[in-house]
Chains A and B, each alone.
Chain A
């Protein structure tokens, strides 16, 4: 597929236009990727509000009734509940990995089994997150297994 980029003046609004013969799986995949880029979550840290793109988020975790989002080096509190985030992130390469975590699939470096019978995901920043056995089929499904 030919890719064209046109630089426009600051007065004009930026847009992405896809010219295709039909909206097939490939186009939908591109759309999903573009939409993923656009999801912004508000993170709170030290009385400051940060706009965090989903592509920078490694995982969400619920701890003692609060929900936190973990980026490469930073942790922010988010005001949404985990189930709300699960809904927001649906179809955006994120999945529920345990009762208390949602993982960003694009940030998983590898998966390995633990001798205690569970799976662990090693993230790109070296952090490890548990994947409960009951959610392993969800991950496998997302990976097309």
Chain B
């Protein structure tokens, strides 16, 4: 994939991550802190987190063809880097100040990471299904 294409994808990923965090936090606040207001600082922090997590996506970028195994290894490295950076920044901003908070944040990151991957995979599955239907019709026509 050319770099420009990868950057476009990174922007899309940033928006998906940001939107998902906002949705999840909105629902959680609705349940646990319904009277608490969203301040601008919180939104900027979430935006910053989303941006940094998107930047780590460059770990997955390669201008050359790479094997499926290589890609999976990169995904593991990507996930670990993401956890490390986000927890480190959360500590700097004093969002987490105990081991329990760190574990909760790590779990949240893991859940969102999994959700994004699953959503992306589901979209791909639908696309593949459409292609397979057309492929079947095409092969019936050609052969």
Give A residues with C-beta under 8 Å from B. 33, 93, 98-100, 105-106, 108, 110-119, 130, 132-134, 136, 139-140, 143-145
Contacts and interface: CB of A to CB of B under 8 A. Distances in A.
Given A108-B135, A144-B134, A93 B68 contact: no
Contacts of A144: 134
Contacts of B120: 117
Interface string B114-143: 000100110011011011101100110011
Given A118-B71, A145-B131, 8 more contacts: A106-B139, A110-B132, A115-B72, A117-B120, A119-B128, A132-B1, A134-B1, A134-B2
B128 A112 contact: yes
Nearest to B139: A106
Contacts of A115: 72, 117, 121
Nearest to B69: A116
Contacts of A117: 60, 71, 120-121, 124
A100 B66 CA distance: 11
A106 B143 contact: yes
Contacts of B139: 106
Nearest to A62: B65
B42 interface: no
B98 interface: no
A143 B142 CA distance: 12
Contacts of A108: 135
A111 B124 CA distance: 10
Contacts of B72: 115-116
A112 B126 CA distance: 9
A99 B65 contact: yes
Contact of B131 (A93, A100, A111): A111
Contacts of B132: 110-111
B135 A143 contact: yes
B19 interface: no
B110 to A, nearest CB: 16
Contacts of B121: 113, 115, 117
Contacts of B64: 99
